[in-house]
Structure 1
Amino acid sequence: MSERVRELETLELVVSAAAAPLFEAAMAEICRSVGRFREEPGERWRIEGIRAVGAGEEKLALALALAAAVSGEQPELRRIPTPASGWLARNRADFPEQVIGERFALRGTHLPPGRTAGRITLMLDAGLAFGSGEHGSTRGCLIALERLARRHHPRRILDLGTGSGILAMAAARLFHRRVLASDIDPWSVRVAAENARRNFLARRITVVAGDGWRKRPLRHAAPFDLVFANILARPLCAMAGALAQHLAPGGTAILAGLLSSQETMVLAAHRRAGLILTGRVRAHAWTTLILRRPCHAR
């Protein structure tokens, strides 16, 4: 992606103090940068997020609808054109190398070339890709992945809702396997493919555009030994049956994109589909669930 930055916009809404964390989390699903500011006078808070115009529109609508349903508030969403000049430079200055768990390091392309000793280092453009490792759900997935690697070595891997491709690249490097990655947003598909090439993983990672399990390459490549699904709580619940169907016996699913308050709902849907909870990772307000399909039906 480098310096090719799409037109930017600032998304802005004002909510109560109680609803602010929910809408901030919703914005973080899509926006590269999110901030919360107290309105004076009073107890209202302004939530602002910056994104590429049109990026992840459906995912944004779902996230805001969920926040509205939980909070009972329906704030007006303002869209403000934002000059790209200067924003990328400021953003890069705020994106130092990130060390995650025991195995991974993420470095922006604006940093001097280098690798962190003893870690899998992934290079990312500090631009507008969804997911730079800063978000709690992405960090939770990477920690869950390194836990899994202590006991299992999956062969067929899917990253559903890949965003910037971090999880697909991490799995490809960790297991030296081919990975299929998909996303509903065409911009994310392009960014993930560019990041794979940047990390010399283009031969191992195939990125396709698709909505959930409807895409033929996903169905044809199943069953999977490992599936990442870092999306949203309600889509996770809706796809629980399809996930279980396309997961190999003994296979693992790492689910993220859910607030800790949504854990019970997501877990119940997947238990009904026959999956078993084997672990969880909590990062700030976010929870990552690690589930397994039993090798034999009860």
Structure 2
Amino acid sequence: MATIFLRRMGFDPKGSVLLSWMCDEERGGGLGVQYLVKKGLLKGDFGICPEPTDGSLRYAHPGILRGYITYKAEPAHVARPYPFGDNALQKAVRAYLALDKINERLEKIKLDDLPSPRLVIAVLNAGEVANVHPSKATFWFDRRIVPGVEGETHDEAIAEIRGALDRLKAEREGYDYELVVTSRRPVLQAPKDDTFTGIVQQAFEEVMGRPVPTLRWEGACDAAWIQQENATDLLVISPAKWDDMAAPDEKLDIEDYLNYIKVFMRTLVLALS
């Protein structure tokens, strides 16, 4: 709406404005932002990603390492004791407990403006029927990579996960595993004192009559892919509420919506006049 209103008002920007609506963001962006970036279709000097930030301006966020781990075993009927050591589900549970120790370590890292880094196992699928020992078990992990913490890189994170699984494999027979990484979303890190950050802060204060809180963000978004590929200054800001995101009653206050259209309009005028 900001660009529509400016165009109707006759604003002639000294540059071009690109609008993009993304798909596949929750699955890592392989069919959305990553595809467009690789095609060279998302280039610019600066940009805004309107993810839910409760009205604050966010200049950095964690990266994400996401994937799944699979264990296999011989099938057997549960009427008899399992003759092959541990079945696939038992292997996956032991692996889960080993990886949870990584999360316990990460939770001890305390930050002033972001949650601790974390490794979460959110999905586990195993077995087919109740009377057969599971021959396959797969669980998904989500590892949040926090910027600015020593050792917090995608490579270090995957090495730590593999290390835990390899130790388990060395200790117990038959614990071969398959690990597949499905997403390595980068961290977003724009300079807090960047020129474009100052422009957005100025636009906000002129419209709202108060400074905008400028913080790092606990979420993650497609903007990080664009920044990594093009070194584009990208910030995250919108009036949408973080706690309402993906909830049945997700909503946006009309007054907030209109005010942030004005903020985005003023940002474009300041940046492109």
> Shorter-chain TM-score: which interval?
under 0.3
Which structure features the higher share of strand residues? 1
Greater Rg by CA: 2
TM-score normalised per structure 1:
0.25
Relative contact order: is structure 1 or structure 2 higher (C-alpha 8 Å, sep ≥ 6)?
2
